Amino acid sequence: MKLRTAAYLLAGSALLNLLGARLLDRLGLIEGLLSPSGARLVVLVPVAVVFYAARFFAFFVAPGLLLGAAAATRQRPENSPDLGAANPQPESQKLL
């Protein structure tokens, strides 16, 4: 994974974390769980599940991806070939 992609994932999940917290506060998550009604729970539970999944990703997964991408970028010199690129063998090494 590229460093820029990992940074965007971290920033996006952190933003989703902040916006999700505000949304759940406005929807009244705690009040809705303490005095449940069917229609309110249909909205609150899926929003809360997405929020807590994004929070888990923002706090645990995304920082690891960012550190891994930074370490991979740091270990590979700029002029070295990409490991995923096709690396043809010379004619003398091909088996027939």
**Predicted model pTM:** 0.62
Residue 85 confidence (pLDDT): 54
Indicate whether 96 belongs to any domain.
no
Count the domains in the chain: 1
**Whole-number pLDDT of residue 38:** 81
pLDDT of residue 76: 62
pLDDT of residue 87: 58
Range of the domain at 61: 3-75
85 within a domain of the structure (yes/no): no
- Span 34-87, pLDDT tens digits: 888 888 888 888 888 988 988 998 899 888 888 888 888 887 666 655 555 555
Q: Which of the pair, 36 or 28, is modelled with greater confidence?
A: 28
DSSP the chain: --HHHHHHHHHHHHHHHHHHHHHHHHHTHHHHHHS--HHHHHHHHHHHHHHHHHHHIIIIIHHHHHHHHHHHHHHS-TTSPPTTS--PPPGGG---
Identify whether 91 is part of a domain: no
| 88 falls within a domain | no
